[in-house]
Chain A
Amino acid sequence: MNDHSLDGNAMAGLLGEIFPFEMTSVRALCAGCGAMEALGRESVYADAPGMVMRCLHCEAILIRAVEGGGRIWIDMRGVACLQVHGE
Chain B
Amino acid sequence: MAGTAVLGRLTWQVGEVTGTRTETPRTRSLIVDLPHWPGHRAGQHVDIRLTAEDGYQAVRSYSIASPPEDSQVEVTVERLDDGEVSPYLVDEAQPGDQLEFRGPVGGYFVWDVSRGGPLFLVAGGSGIVPLMSMIRHRQARHSDIPLTLLYSVRAPQDVIYRAELDRLAPDGVTIAYTFTREQPEDWTGFARRIDRDLLREEAPPLNTRPLVYVCGPTPFVETAAGLLVELGYDAGRIYTERFGATGRER
Whether A associates with B in a native complex is yes
Give chain A residues whose Cβ lies under 8 Å from the Cβ of B241: 7, 9
CB-nearest residue of chain A relative to B41?
A22
Q: A1-B218, A20-B9, A24-B106 are in contact. Are A10 and B250 (CB under 8 A)?
A: yes
Rounded to whole angstroms, the CA-CA distance of A22 and B40 in the bound complex is 12
Q: Is the CB of B105 within 8 A of A12?
A: yes
Rounded to whole angstroms, the CA-CA distance of A70 and B109 in the bound complex is 29
What is the interface of chain B, defined by CB distance below 8 A to chain A? 1-2, 6-11, 45-47, 55, 57, 59, 61, 102-103, 105-109, 217-219, 241-246, 250
Candidates A1, A20, A41, A46; contact of B250 at CB < 8 Å = A46
Q: Is the CB of A3 within 8 A of B7?
A: no
CB-nearest residue of chain A relative to B11?
A17
Q: Is the CB of B10 within 8 A of A16?
A: yes
CB-nearest residue of chain B relative to A68?
B57
Rounded to whole angstroms, the CA-CA distance of A22 and B103 in the bound complex is 10
Candidates B6, B57, B103, B109; contact of A13 at CB < 8 Å = B103
Rounded to whole angstroms, the CA-CA distance of A16 and B8 in the bound complex is 8
Give chain B residues whose Cβ lies under 8 Å from the Cβ of A9: 45, 61, 105-106, 109, 241, 250
15 new A-B pairs (CB below 8 Å) besides A9-B106, A16-B10, A16-B105?
A1-B218, A4-B244, A4-B246, A6-B242, A7-B241, A13-B61, A17-B1, A17-B11, A18-B9, A24-B106, A25-B108, A40-B107, A40-B108, A44-B250, A46-B250
- Write the nearest CB–CB distance from A43 to chain B, whole angstroms: 9
Q: A1-B218, A6-B250 are in contact. Are A40 and B109 (CB under 8 A)?
A: yes
- Write the nearest CB–CB distance from B226 to chain A, whole angstroms: 14
Give chain B residues whose Cβ lies under 8 Å from the Cβ of A38: 108
Give chain B residues whose Cβ lies under 8 Å from the Cβ of A12: 45, 61, 105-106
Q: Is the CB of A24 within 8 A of B245?
A: no
- Write the nearest CB–CB distance from B68 to chain A, whole angstroms: 15
A19 an interface residue at 8 Å Cβ cutoff?
yes
A76 an interface residue at 8 Å Cβ cutoff?
no
Rounded to whole angstroms, the CA-CA distance of A68 and B49 in the bound complex is 11
Rounded to whole angstroms, the CA-CA distance of A44 and B90 in the bound complex is 24
A72 an interface residue at 8 Å Cβ cutoff?
yes
CB-nearest residue of chain B relative to A41?
B108
CB-nearest residue of chain B relative to A72?
B1
Q: Which of A14-43 contact B (CB under 8 A)?
A: 14, 16-22, 24-25, 38, 40-41
Give chain A residues whose Cβ lies under 8 Å from the Cβ of B250: 6, 9-10, 44, 46
- One digit per residue, 1 when the CB lies within 8 angstroms of any chain B CB and 0 when it does not, for chain A 60-87 equals 0000000111111000000000000000
Q: Is the CB of A13 within 8 A of B244?
A: no
| Nearest 9 Cβ contacts at the A-B interface | A20-B8, A3-B245, A16-B10, A13-B47, A22-B107, A10-B250, A40-B108, A12-B105, A13-B105
Candidates A7, A16, A19, A72; contact of B242 at CB < 8 Å = A7
- Write the nearest CB–CB distance from A56 to chain B, whole angstroms: 11
- Write the nearest CB–CB distance from B119 to chain A, whole angstroms: 20
- Write the nearest CB–CB distance from A57 to chain B, whole angstroms: 14
- Sample (20) of A-B pairs whose CB atoms are under 8 Å apart: A1-B218, A3-B218, A4-B244, A6-B243, A9-B61, A9-B105, A10-B243, A13-B45, A13-B59, A13-B61, A14-B59, A20-B8, A20-B9, A22-B106, A24-B107, A24-B109, A25-B107, A46-B250, A70-B2, A71-B1
